[in-house]
Chains A and B, each alone.
Chain A
Amino acid sequence: MEKHLSVSSFFHAVYLVDFSPSLCQVARTRFARLGWKNVKVVCQDARTFKLSDYEEGHTDESAVFSIGKSALDESSAADNVGADLLTMSYSLSMIPEFHPVVDSLANLLAPNGVMGVVDFYVQNQIQFQSRNYVGGVIDRHCMWISRIFWAAWFEMDRVFLDSSRRVSACQPYSSAVTYSCRTIWSTSSEQS
């Protein structure tokens, strides 16, 4: 990120959420060394992370747990505080229970926020055909050997490449830019 923007001055705040204490410690040491005071490392289960718990301006009303609310009903479900940019980098495939996390994305994002996701995946073309909102399908289809092999291979490290993860994280939103390439995919979705 520093290659494109000055992280310490461009952003009001950056929240880094991870459930691994050792990784969080590595990150904290790094940001302390860089002197980036606006980057906050939160060691927390992503299923329960809420921005308003950390940002000022939250009220009792908005502190209500976000899960279970319709992402489409903006008036009641939206948090008072929303992130302008939300990224998930090789994390969607590693969170064992991804549904509650995917559900909370809409509430974490500000109304015109941008979401960027990059992760591993395997998919058959049947799983995206006849959908006019996926925005670019070159090389998206994986042949059957690679679908079976890579899914089983990554499973040994508790990383799950199942198609439903990509679909559930990206399908609710319109994709502004999509790019797939062998063994890596990246989808950036814009919510409006």
Chain B
Amino acid sequence: MHKLAALDAAVTESPFISALDLQRKSVGGARRGSSSERRSKAYESAIFNLSASLPLPAAWYQQHHWRIYYDEQLQKHKQFGDEYIYAFTWEDARVDARLLKITSEDVVLAITSAGDNILAYALEQPKRIHAVDLNPNQNHLLELKVAAFTALGYTDVWKLFGQGKHDDFRSLLINHLSPHLSSQAFDYWLHKGNATFGEKSRGLYYTGGSRHAIQLVQWLGRLLGIRADLAAMCSAATLNEQREIWSKRVRRVLLSQFLNYTVIGTEKFLWKALGVPANQRAMIDADYLHQTDPKSKVSGVKSGQAIWEYAVNTLDPVVNNTLVSEENPYYLICLQGQYTQRCHPEYLAPRSHVKLSKPNAFDGLRIHTDELSEVMARMTPETLTIAVLMDSMDWFDPAGPEADAQVKIVNRALKMGGRVLLRSAGLKPWYVDTFEKRGFVAKRVGARIPPGSCIDR
């Protein structure tokens, strides 16, 4: 029962049971008293299973407390099948770090995605990181990364996540990583590992839904005869050299109208490859309309054109201002499907490995498999200092009640003075109003206006 209480406290961010009474005396009781009803899913499952004389879930027997118990057989988790959408995170962790200035006192909640951003936050060693994703497979990927840092040397970590390939994955998994993984993550990687990292596969970055984007770039490269140019861009030594290759050949092909109408503007591509849901697409469309002709209506807009505009605004400044071969791993990975020693996310640097392979590096990490609102609702009020919601709220329906409900829950889970970092495909996300109504102060820290400004890097 002691373990039960400790685990529950660790997950819900509630004060540890033995300290609860002390806490209640000093705080006055009324507010803290509510935490007795706020229980973790692990706690609820344990109470149910014990009362029915059933064994406890596998999560109770893990070596590490990183992965929080979830019921893998629920439809909301099964809907993703056995595939993650993102094999790498698009969001620039360095920009986030500059904005957030994470300290050792911070309690951060962020969406797992491919886990790259979570590792970037872990480098700053905050008090606690809550990584949340509804898709269990995204969390399996993060768990694999965390286990790799815990058990493997730099060479193997680089092979797995820098190059995306390892010829001996199965033996690594069984002999070194397995004690550090949850049963579900181990099960997943034993099934998927060889197809992901093995000799016959093309590597980690060619798996998951995001592979469609990488494959498309390469397919286009071959089809349109700019493969050599793309490769040259990946290794260009100077910005001028890169600009020249870009404007002379690549830009003309990648951003051509024809391509947008036939491929990129289609619903299927957006969802599968880029993970852009219909609601987010509507926001991009609306911005495009607003900029061109504010009076025209949404109907009849050519989505392909809006996306084209979006691509121009995003890609042009990137190529003109950052050297892909050295300082922009996010575009490099799309162009060549693996990182290089010259250009990679911060967490893959040797000095990061030193930090992340320390015995207690991930003590503050909790990996939740559930909806954001579900996770935050189970937390003790006033726990978080930073919530990084990325573009998850673009997915909501503007007419629906979800956004307001979510903002309410975020507000409750945050400490006074806590911060929320949002990313949106829209220039003026409609839900910013919702935040302001609930007492938040909104501040835009980056935008792709005026046209030509660079938001990534």
Contact = CB atoms under 8 A, between A and B. Distances in A.
Interface string B26-68: 0000000000000000000100010001111110111000000
B190 A132 contact: no
B158 interface: no
A125 to B, nearest CB: 9
Nearest to A190: B61
Contacts of B45: 132
Nearest to A4: B175
A63 interface: no
Chain B CB count within 10 A is highest, among A132, A137, A139, A175, for A132
Given A174-B61, A179-B187, A133 B56 contact: yes
Interface residues of B, number: 25
- Tell me the dominant secondary structure on chain B's binding face: helix
A129 interface: yes
* Interface size grouping (class) on chain A: 20 to 34
A172 B55 contact: yes
Interface stretch (B88-96, B178-186, B409-417): B178-186
Contacts of A135: 57-58, 183-184, 187
Contacts of A130: 73
B72 interface: yes
A188 to B, nearest CB: 9
Chain B CB count within 10 A is highest, among A72, A134, A176, for A176
Contacts of A137: 72-73, 187
B188 interface: yes
B58 A177 contact: yes
A21 interface: no
Contacts of A178: 58, 183, 187
A174 B53 CA distance: 11
Contacts of B184: 135-136
Contacts of A171: 55
B248 interface: no
A156 interface: no
B191 A175 contact: no
Contact of A133 (B54, B62, B186): B54
Nearest to A176: B61
Given A137-B72, A138-B82, A177 B57 contact: no
Interface in B150-193: 175, 178, 183-184, 186-188, 190-191
Interface of B: 45, 49, 53-58, 60-62, 69, 71-73, 82, 175, 178, 183-184, 186-188, 190-191
Identify the 6 closest CB pairs spanning chains A and B, nearest first. Answer: A136-B187, A135-B58, A135-B183, A174-B55, A176-B61, A133-B55
Given A131-B73, A136-B183, 19 more contacts: A130-B73, A132-B49, A132-B71, A133-B56, A134-B58, A135-B58, A135-B183, A136-B58, A137-B73, A138-B187, A172-B55, A173-B55, A175-B183, A176-B62, A176-B183, A177-B186, A178-B58, A178-B183, A179-B186
Interface of A: 4, 72, 129-139, 171-179, 181, 190, 192
